[in-house]
């Protein structure tokens, strides 16, 4: 991975690195003269829950980050500390000597990401002989902004770098990061998060086509109204995807694909159904017996059609249409895909009342976590005020836990040298 050390750290980067230096000192981790790798969060503009259904994807990197200061160890020892999980203390292990995948004893520690990185890199045949000393601090809220993918990517890129390995194939890095979650941790996530973070570029949307395995950068049309990406963290905590509705929805979609295959349809995923006539035929055939599976399919079909509308609108700078599609996706995710949650919908209901809110919906894995909105910049403060009044009144249990993040579109990965 080429280091973008010519790019200057922001004031926020400096603050975070200052914090990391203090944390490292307290934890006794030597990161002096190491590098800083900053990995972003992501905001998906479509198709949410499309990745494991084979749809094309579009999203941006957002400015909530994980910063990791690291330097290679002298040996194969990993010594890591996270300022976000002080209770886990210093995580120390020799590379290659890690608990079995999906071990219950690692289920509650963030260290499972570091173990998982060791596991997948070795399995893939990389010659990893050196561990790293590292200290981490992040401000990505959990549930909706891809904190886990950001962490897995950060660790993979840093361990490869410490071992002098340059992996030029970024999609391979995506697969490795997904494997950390799928194969070591046991979370059934797709590839959306990893792609949208690893490829993210300041000022651009990232467009991924799974059939072509291609990534393109799409600038927002020049005449676009000034708008902001707002993330409304409900303060609720979602357990891992493996313990949530996500796993059920994924299985339902796979079940429907195999039903369709057995009935003679030549498809490999729900995204393969793009034509109205075929869609109607399938619904006529299956809706009576499998109403729920058909509902999931209805969302994917409609969201996929809207995806192209959204992408064209983005290119033209027609933010109102991008927002409308975002809202329609949200209604589909709520009513057909049924992956949203009550607190997420409270946030959406509040956002919808604000003039200048172009669209809003749940974000990411579902059930809990964060909802998002596309809002004319002039109206962002009105949205914040509305959330401050209405959300604690509606959800008093989360009155001191929710947060509103106004986000910028940023680079997914940056590396800074000479900061510590
Ligand atoms: C989570 C998963 C992704 C994706 C989204 C929903 O973030 O990790 O793979 O499925 O949910 O779009």
User: Hey, what domains does the chain have and what are their CATH numbers?
Assistant: 11-219+411-417 (3.30.230.10), 227-407 (3.30.70.890)
Under the banding of pLDDT at 50, 70 and 90, the label for residue 142 is confident
**By C-alpha distance, which of 43, 366, 39, 48 is closest to 231?**
43
Quote the ligand 1 centre to 332 CA distance (angstroms).
16
How much is the pLDDT for 157?
98
How much is the pLDDT for 7?
87
Span 294-327, pLDDT tens digits: 999 999 999 999 999 999 999 999 999 999 999 9
Proportion of the chain above pLDDT 90, given as a percent: 97
144 CA closest ligand 1 atom index: 7
- Closest protein CA for atom 10 of ligand 1: 49
Which residue ranges have their beta carbon within 6 Å of ligand 1? Answer: 44, 48-49, 51-52, 146, 189-190, 192-193, 364-365
Question: How far is it, in rounded angstroms, from Cα 232 to Cα 260?
Answer: 38
Buried b or exposed e, range 269-306, using 16+ CB within 10 angstroms: bbbbbeeeeebeebeeebeeebeebbbbbbbbbbbbeb
Regarding pTM above 0.95, the answer is yes
Quote the ligand 1 centre to 402 CA distance (angstroms).
21
47 CA closest ligand 1 atom index: 12
How many alpha carbons fall within 13 Å on the CB side of residue 67?
28
HEC states along 154-200?
A: HHHHHHHHHCCCCCCCHHHHHHHHHHHHHHHHCCCCCCHHHHHHHCC
Please check the confidence at residue 2 and state whether its pLDDT lies above 50: no
Please check the confidence at residue 1 and state whether its pLDDT lies above 60: no
How much is the pLDDT for 232?
98
Section 135-151 average pLDDT? 96
Please check the confidence at residue 108 and state whether its pLDDT lies above 70: yes
- Closest protein CA for atom 2 of ligand 1: 189
Span 25-59, pLDDT tens digits: 999 999 999 999 999 999 999 999 999 999 999 99
Q: What is the mean pLDDT of the chain?
A: 97
Section 133-157 average pLDDT? 96
Span 57-76, pLDDT tens digits: 999 999 999 999 999 999 99
Please check the confidence at residue 148 and state whether its pLDDT lies above 70: yes
Please check the confidence at residue 4 and state whether its pLDDT lies above 70: no
């Amino acid at each position: 991975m080429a280091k973008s050390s010519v790019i200057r750290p922001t004031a926020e980067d400096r603050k975070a690195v200052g914090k990391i230096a203090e944390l490292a000192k307290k934890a006794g981790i030597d990161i002096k003269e190491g590098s800083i790798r900053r990995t972003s969060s992501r905001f998906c503009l479509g198709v949410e829950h499309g990745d494991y259904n084979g749809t094309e994807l579009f999203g941006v990197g957002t400015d909530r980050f994980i910063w990791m200061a690291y330097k290679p160890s002298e040996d194969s020892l990993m010594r890591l500390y996270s300022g976000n999980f002080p209770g886990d203390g210093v995580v120390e292990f020799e590379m290659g000597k890690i608990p079995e995948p999906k071990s219950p004893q690692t289920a509650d520690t963030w260290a499972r990401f570091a173990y998982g990185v060791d596991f997948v890199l070795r399995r893939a045949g990389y010659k990893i002989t050196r561990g790293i000393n590292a200290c981490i601090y992040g401000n990505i809220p959990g549930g909706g902004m891809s904190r886990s993918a950001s962490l897995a990517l950060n660790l993979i890129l840093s361990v490869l770098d410490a071992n002098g390995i340059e992996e030029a194939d970024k999609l391979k890095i995506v697969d490795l990061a997904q494997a950390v979650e799928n194969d070591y941790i046991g979370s059934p996530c797709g590839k959306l998060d990893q792609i949208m973070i690893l490829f993210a570029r300041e000022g651009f949307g990232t467009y991924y086509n799974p059939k072509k395995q291609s990534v393109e950068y799409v600038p927002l049309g020049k005449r676009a109204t000034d708008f902001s990406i707002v993330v409304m963290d409900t303060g609720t905590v979602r357990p891992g995807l493996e313990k949530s509705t996500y796993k059920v929805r994924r299985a339902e979609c796979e079940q429907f694909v195999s039903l369709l295959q057995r009935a003679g349809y030549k498809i490999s995923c729900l995204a393969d159904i793009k034509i109205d006539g075929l869609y109607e035929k399938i619904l006529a055939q299956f809706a009576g017996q499998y109403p729920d599976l058909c509902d999931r399919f209805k969302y994917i079909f409609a969201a996929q059609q809207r995806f192209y509308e959204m992408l064209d609108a983005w290119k033209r700078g027609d933010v109102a249409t991008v927002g409308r599609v975002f809202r329609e996706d949200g209604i589909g995710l709520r009513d057909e895909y049924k992956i949203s949650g009550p607190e997420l919908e409270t946030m959406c209901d509040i956002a919808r009342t604000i003039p200048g809110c172009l669209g809003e919906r749940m974000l990411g894995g579902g059930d809990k976590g964060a909802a998002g909105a596309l809002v004319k910049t002039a109206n962002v403060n009105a949205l914040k005020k509305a959330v401050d009044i209405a959300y604690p009144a509606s959800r008093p249990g989360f009155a001191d836990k929710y947060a509103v993040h106004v986000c910028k579109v940023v680079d997914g990965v940056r590396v800074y040298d000479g900061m510590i």
